[in-house]
Each structure stands twice: as C-alpha cells, then as structure tokens.
Amino acid sequence: MILLILLEGGFLKNNLIIAIDGPGASGKGTISKLVSKKLNMFHLNSGSIYRALALMVNQKGVEHNDFPAIISFAKSLSLKNLDSPELKRDDIAILASKISENPRVREALLDFQRSLGARPPFGKGIIIEGRDIGTVVFPNAQIKIFIDADIEIRADRRYKDLKKINDNIELEDVKNQLIERDNRDYNRTTSPLRPAENAHLLNTSKLDIEQCCSVVCGIIEEHSAKNNNKCYID
C-alpha cells in the first residue's frame, strides 16, 4: 500500500504533528517508521533522545542522579547525537529509563522535542513516538494514536528481536522486564504513560505490521478528509 499526500492541499505545509504513544514492544516504533516513509515525514523516536542523553552521561562518567550535570547535557543535545549505534546498548537503555523518571530531566528535553515539531528537518511535519507525546509533549497534535498489545504478544516480539543478538535470552526474563518497565511508566508521578483523551486506540495483538500501518493510514486519511485536505491511498 502506498500513501501519497498532495502538498498543495496544505496537509503537510502546516507542520502536521502525529503523536504515537504506547508501551514497549507494542509495535509503535516499526509502525511509526513505515508510515513516516510513506508520508515522507520526519520520524522521531523520543526514546532515542533519552538514550542519547544517557550515553552522554555514561561517557562523561556522571552519576545517574547528578541532575544539574544531566540537565546541562540535555540542553546541548542535537540530532547528530541520535545516530550513535551505542544507543542500542542494554546498559544505556536501563540508564535512560532511570534518568527519564526525573521531572527536571523530562522538562529539559521538552524544548528539544517541541523545536523539532515546530521546524521538522523535512519541513513536512513529524511523526513522533514515545510514552507521553500526545499528553505532554504535543498535547495539541492534530492526530494522536495510542498503540498497545497484550503482554504475552509484546514479550514474544521483544524476545525474538533480542534472540538475534543474544542467544542466551529467556522469554520469561523479557516478559518480566517489560512488566517492570510498564509499572514504572504507568505509575510515575510526572508524565505517566496513558492514552490522551482524544487519542485513537489501536491494539496490535492480532494484526500484522501491514494491517497496523493500514489502520494508521486510515486514521490519517480520515483526518485529511475532515479538514478538506487531499489524501490518496492506492
């Protein structure tokens, strides 16, 4: 399926912001990437921002609770910091999860995310995925989608991905890690993970990736039609 947006309709000229939230391994990352390619829009994984900050903290030898230093690093972040292959390291992901719980750190990264939304690199809008995008980062996003899946499905997906690089990984361990992360995300005081009130809800448990993208593209097409924009799906 190919999604084509006609720029003359103004759909993308107005910096369309599509906010996609959800827990880990729900499918939001893959869906966001594929749909952004179809739309030729800039894609941003907000998790990579926190990982980039965590990598800086790690490389500078700063303690995870030295928040004045961490906030200083946050203010110096740029897009080039998001390209490092080291962002995929397990220890960086764990550190990112820890520092993201601090309200001051989250606040410091808001400006970075919002500046990209106001001036996306492609100039055609942005699809940004995370855990508080539609509720905190871009509460006025034109389109909000909350993607979820059953914990067993999510654990199996994450397990299969990790198995490619770590043959000793156990499914039960992966499931427990996801549950632990869910508990932190849903129960944190600042910016807890939850669907925005006006978000479209998508459960991907019984859908393949093409079906998921089709649903998301349908949501975008509906938004386009309601706002008198031109949107064609072939």
- Select 22-39+132-216's CATH number: 3.90.950.20, 3.40.50.300, 1.10.230.10, 3.50.50.60: 3.40.50.300
Residue 101 confidence (pLDDT) above 70: yes
pLDDT tens digits along 123-148 = 678 999 999 999 999 999 999 999 99
How sure is the predictor about 10, in pLDDT bands with cuts at 50, 70 and 90?
very low
DSSP 111-155: HHHHHHHHS-TTSS-EEEEESSIIIII-TT-SEEEEEE--HHHHH
Q: What is the mean pLDDT of residues 95-118?
A: 90
Here the tokens at position 214 are 């089709």
How sure is the predictor about 228, in pLDDT bands with cuts at 50, 70 and 90?
low
Q: What is the mean pLDDT of residues 183-202?
A: 94
pLDDT tens digits along 30-87 = 999 999 999 888 999 999 999 999 999 999 999 999 999 999 999 999 999 999 999 9
Here the tokens at position 32 are 């966001």
Q: How far is residue 110's CA from residue 190's CA, in Å, rounded to a whole number?
A: 13
Question: What's the predicted TM-score (pTM) here?
Answer: 0.87
Task: Indicate the helix (H) or strand (E) that contains 57.
Answer: helix 46-60
Is the separation of the CB atoms in 143 and 11 below 8 Å? no
- How far, in Å, are 195, 209, 211 from residue 206 at the CA level? 20, 10, 9
Q: Any idea where the domains of the chain sit in the sequence?
A: 22-39+132-216, 42-123
On average, the pLDDT of the chain sits at: 88
Q: What is the mean pLDDT of residues 100-127?
A: 88
Q: CB within 8 A of 129, min separation 6: which ones?
A: 20, 21, 22, 28, 29, 32, 43, 44, 45, 46, 47
Is the separation of the CB atoms in 53 and 70 below 8 Å? yes
**84 exposed, middle or buried (CB, 10 Å; 0-12, 13-18, 19+)?**
middle
In the sheet with 200-203, reading across from the earlier edge strand, the strands are 42-45, 126-130, 17-21, 143-148, 200-203
Residue 167 confidence (pLDDT) above 70: yes
pLDDT of residue 1: 35
DSSP state of 13: T
DSSP 146-206: EEE--HHHHHHHHHHHHHTT-TT--HHHHHHHHHHHHHHHHH-SSS-----TTPEEEE-TT
Residue 219 confidence (pLDDT) above 80: yes
